[in-house]
Amino acid sequence: MAAPNNNKQTILSIINATNGKLLSTYKTIKNSIISLQYDIFQKQLFAHIETDEENVTSIIEINTNNGNIKQILGTIHNMKPTHISSYCPICRKYFLMMIEDQYFTYVGVNTSNSGGIDWKVKINFSPISMKFDYKTFTMYTTYINTSVHFVSSVGILDRTKGEISKDVGNIYEDPNIVVTSLSAYDIAENIFYASIELTGPIVQGVSYVKVDGSESKLILLPKANYISYRWFIKQFIH
């Protein structure tokens, strides 16, 4: 996990995924970390970081022994970063959503061999989050579905055309439901989870969608018991 301290410096830490206890903290990363991705097969940690130049970001590998930057795998110029990212441990690519000329752009960075940017495709919708299913090589994304009265939906991203090829389900058809960028994907069960907020008064919850279209459900969390501002997700492995 990566989070800023009181001095707005990014602190990279490792916590136990079972009990939440802090295991170690690295203080060598000087750059702001936009997103993190972990290769569950190669046991490599990657990060999308800001640089000292405006609208210039890099994909790096982090040495998990000491927290130092191990190598720079790709540098992206003239694009504004977003936190939306995912990873494919089979093809070993870091997927990003960036903003170029006020348009969302889908970017793929190779994390094997010498790295490099594989492709860039402009997106014709507004993404909220995305998760990659490496069993089926399918990218699922939450997005604002303007064809259904601005309902937040889960769809399949056509990574060649930059559009939704198939809508697999709606989060919830209620204008008072706001879908956040916090999400997770259960590869074994084919379930896309998304964090939601119910406005007026604000109540948080979790929505899930079976991507085969068979089921969806929304669960509101007791306001008195939960004050959530981030998710920690242990990656589901099949």
Residue 150 has pLDDT above 70, yes or no: no
Q: Are 109 and 115 in contact (CB under 8 A)?
A: yes
The fourth-level CATH superfamily of domain 2-122 is YVTN repeat-like/Quinoprotein amine dehydrogenase (2.130.10.10)
User: 27 pLDDT band (50/70/90 cuts)?
Assistant: confident
Window from 40-49, 142-151, 154-163, 205-214 with minimum mean pLDDT: 142-151
232/11: higher pLDDT: 11
Q: How far apart are CA 178 and CA 142, in angstroms?
A: 12
Q: What is the structure's pLDDT at 119?
A: 85
Q: What is the mean pLDDT of the chain?
A: 87
Give Cα 3 to chain centroid, integer Å: 15
pLDDT at 237 exceeding the cut of 80 = no
pLDDT of residue 234: 45
**Residue 157 near residue 141 (C-beta atoms within 8 A):** yes
pLDDT higher than threshold 80 for residue 202: no
Residue appearing with tokens 């994907």:
185
pLDDT of residue 38: 93
Whole-model pTM: value is: 0.89
What torsion do the CA atoms of 79, 123, 132, 69 make, to the nearest 10 degrees?
Answer: 0
Query: Tell me, what amino acid is at 30?
Result: K
pLDDT bracket for residue 155 (50, 70, 90): very high
The stretch 121-137 carries a mean pLDDT of: 94
Where do the domains of the chain lie?
A: 2-122
pLDDT bucket at 124, cuts 50 / 70 / 90: very high
14: number of Cβ within 10 Å: 14
Residue-level pLDDT at 227: 52
Please, which pLDDT band fits residue 232 given cuts at 50, 70 and 90? very low
Which amino acid is it at 179? V
Give 8's pLDDT tier (boundaries 50, 70, 90). confident
pLDDT in tens, 158-200: 999 999 999 998 887 777 788 888 899 999 899 999 988 877 7
